[in-house]
A and B are shown apart, each in its own frame.
Chain A
Amino acid sequence: MGYQKDVKSLMEKEINKNLENNQSFIVNDKHIFFRKIYNILFKTSIILFSIISIIPLFLILFYVLQKGITAIDWDFFVKLPKPVGVEGGGISNAIIGTFLIILMSSLMSVPLGVGTGIFLSEYQNSKLAYVVRLFVEVLQGVPSIVMGIIAYLWVVRPMGIFSGFSGAIALGMMMLPVIIKNTEETLKLIPHSLKEASMSLGVPYYKTILKVVLPSSISGIVTGVLIGIARIAGETAPLLFTAFGNPFMNLNIFKPMNSLSLLIFNYATSPYQDWHRIAWGASLFLIVFVLFTNLVANGVAKKWKVEF
């Protein structure tokens, strides 16, 4: 206490003397005025920059809508592309190709992805899980064009022909990380007590996982698959030298196959105005499909959510 009193009498005086100038500065209205101004200026620029960032979105959506809507009619969906110089035609082969490739990719990546997700949530702290998680991170960061190279080297070169199947391999690998992560995250939210309840009833472990845990997390898994589909639906780079593109209708997965994204790329970079028109139409269709898939994914996540 005595020591504290000393501090008070000695230090206080000295400080007040030393701070006299600063003290007046501290309550200086001008200083506070400028601080407030900076604060407002900063907030304004944050708002401004944020709004500017999403202006391109509206520009792109508006432009694609404006250009694309004129190209879209019934023929657009059901007819095949016409040769250069012939007006009209549709993109039915590209639409079917895209859906076929998406379907194949999903068939390949969903079982593997969901399985890995289960593994990661069941063996959360094992060394293997740690390494797998790291690998999934890396896999997610692999540039899409590299996936194309891989599918080319694995499938196209040995088989000697470009094919929809090889494209699906490339896209399937891109879907995998999305499905794995979503499955793992969803399964982690399932309370441990649910599993214990099932096990205590004598249900074997594998049935507990497949019949109790998985069904309660179905919304998260479906969401993951849909987000994965939205991610690959517009991918072009991995398809350039795998699915390759095809002006004709082709349902054989071991032959070159067209996709919406390939068609947009090929037509957009061509010199023909009529092809540009069709490419805008295809872009509009693709954007609507991707945004709609994302929307459904969000809807599923909200609506089917099992509450605990």
Chain B
Amino acid sequence: MESRVLEIKDFSMYYGDTKAVDNISMDVYKNKVTAIMGPSGCGKTTLLRSINRMHELVADTRTTGEIRLYDTEIHSISPIVLRRKIGMVFQRPNPFPTMSIYDNVIAGYKLNGIRLKRADRDIIVEDSLKKAALWEEVKDKLHRKGTFLSGGQQQRLCVARALAMKPEILLLDEPTSALDPKATTKIESLIEELKIYVTMVLVTHNMSQAARVSDYTAFLFLGELVEYGQTQKMFTTPEDKRTEEYLTGKFG
């Protein structure tokens, strides 16, 4: 039996009067990769950003329903606490250009005003970079600016930055959309390897990517959850006709 980390229950989200996410219920399981796919504008990024309450940065949004991290309703705790437990990697690599590679990794601690001993900092940086499979490439230039790295390396630096906070869940918002195929492969295998440390939710518009890296897949269409289940099963025997049409390229 899989153990549940996140429980989304009857969750809806509105931008002004427009419903972007419509009454979604699904569970996210520990140390698994859950992919959310669907055509653009289906609400997949909105759903992802609701999980760490990033949508609140945009004015005029409203939600109903529940999202529970273990047993805690996420809206009952402060977003600054929640976001540390649920990390995020974005579409475009966005290391902080004013910080070195080293400082980028521990940026979460620095920004949050948490003082660490130098030895602890070193350990966190090394560990996070190793987990993100970047250590060997950057260990000699930790104090250079992160923006000197290639796009794929920058994205792995962003993964390391998120991992450094020891999150329960890592949200990946189309993390390879700005990368070349080689860097994409590297990120995909990284996602495989990271499963032992962290639960991941991956938004992608690329169904073969969902098929390659995820254990569970949710298919969203027009804000609705059409189908949710084990990836293998969904890609071989979809239950819903719309899923089948999407997978066979009839729309989207």
**Complex contact flag A–B (Cβ < 8 Å):** yes
Asked if residues B120 and A7 are in contact (CB atoms below 8 Å), the reply is: no
Asked if residues B123 and A15 are in contact (CB atoms below 8 Å), the reply is: yes
Q: Which residues of A sit under 8 angstroms from B126, Cβ to Cβ?
A: 11
Interface residues as binary, B103-126 with A (CB distance below 8 Å gives 1, 0 otherwise): 000000000111010011001101
Cβ-based interface call for A18 (8 A): yes
Expressed in whole angstroms, the minimum distance between the Cβ of B195 and any Cβ of chain A is 10
Asked if residues A11 and B112 are in contact (CB atoms below 8 Å), the reply is: no
Asked if residues B120 and A32 are in contact (CB atoms below 8 Å), the reply is: no
Asked if residues B123 and A4 are in contact (CB atoms below 8 Å), the reply is: no
Q: Which residues of A sit under 8 angstroms from B84, Cβ to Cβ?
A: 26
The verdict on A11 contacting B114 (CB below 8 Å), with A4-B193, A32-B80, A36-B78 known, is no
The verdict on A35 contacting B80 (CB below 8 Å), with A22-B120, A25-B114 known, is yes
Interface residues as binary, A24-51 with B (CB distance below 8 Å gives 1, 0 otherwise): 0111000110011000000000000000
Minimal Cβ-Cβ distance residue in A for B165: A26
Cβ-based interface call for A1 (8 A): yes
Q: How many residues does chain B have at the interface if contact means C-beta atoms less than 8 Å apart? A: 19
Indicate which residue in A1, A26, A32 contacts B78 across the interface (CB closer than 8 Å).
A32
Q: Which residues of A sit under 8 angstroms from B123, Cβ to Cβ?
A: 11, 14-15, 18
* A12, B197: Cα distance in complex, Å: 10
* A32, B119: Cα distance in complex, Å: 24
The verdict on A4 contacting B81 (CB below 8 Å), with A18-B120, A25-B114, A35-B112 known, is no
Q: Which residues of B sit under 8 angstroms from A36, Cβ to Cβ?
A: 78, 80
Q: Which residues of A sit under 8 angstroms from B78, Cβ to Cβ?
A: 32, 36
Cβ-based interface call for B7 (8 A): no
Asked if residues B127 and A32 are in contact (CB atoms below 8 Å), the reply is: no
Say which size band chain A's interface belongs to.
10 to 19
Asked if residues A4 and B131 are in contact (CB atoms below 8 Å), the reply is: yes
Cβ-based interface call for A8 (8 A): yes
Minimal Cβ-Cβ distance residue in A for B130: A7
Q: Which residues of B sit under 8 angstroms from A19, Cβ to Cβ?
A: 120, 124
Cβ-based interface call for B196 (8 A): yes
Expressed in whole angstroms, the minimum distance between the Cβ of A24 and any Cβ of chain B is 12
Asked if residues A7 and B119 are in contact (CB atoms below 8 Å), the reply is: no
Minimal Cβ-Cβ distance residue in B for A4: B193
Asked if residues B193 and A32 are in contact (CB atoms below 8 Å), the reply is: no
The verdict on A15 contacting B193 (CB below 8 Å), with A22-B116, A32-B81 known, is no
Q: Which residues of B sit under 8 angstroms from A12, Cβ to Cβ?
A: 127
The verdict on A1 contacting B113 (CB below 8 Å), with A7-B130, A11-B130, A14-B123 known, is no
Q: Which residues of B sit under 8 angstroms from A1, Cβ to Cβ?
A: 193
Q: Which residues of A sit under 8 angstroms from B120, Cβ to Cβ?
A: 18-19, 22
Q: Residues on A close to B: CB < 8 A?
A: 1, 4-5, 7-8, 11-12, 14-15, 18-19, 22, 25-27, 31-32, 35-36
Known: A11-B127, A32-B78. 7 other contacts (CB 8 A): A11-B123, A11-B126, A14-B123, A18-B120, A22-B114, A31-B113, A35-B112
Q: Residues on B close to A: CB < 8 A?
A: 78, 80-81, 84, 112-114, 116, 119-120, 123-124, 126-127, 130-131, 193, 196-197
Q: Which 5 A-B pairs have the closest CB atoms?
A: A11-B127, A7-B130, A18-B120, A4-B193, A15-B123
- A to B CB contacts below 8 Å, 28 in the list: A1-B193, A4-B130, A4-B131, A4-B193, A4-B196, A5-B196, A7-B127, A7-B131, A8-B196, A8-B197, A11-B126, A12-B127, A14-B123, A15-B123, A18-B119, A18-B120, A18-B123, A19-B120, A22-B120, A25-B114, A26-B84, A26-B114, A32-B80, A32-B81, A35-B80, A35-B112, A36-B78, A36-B80
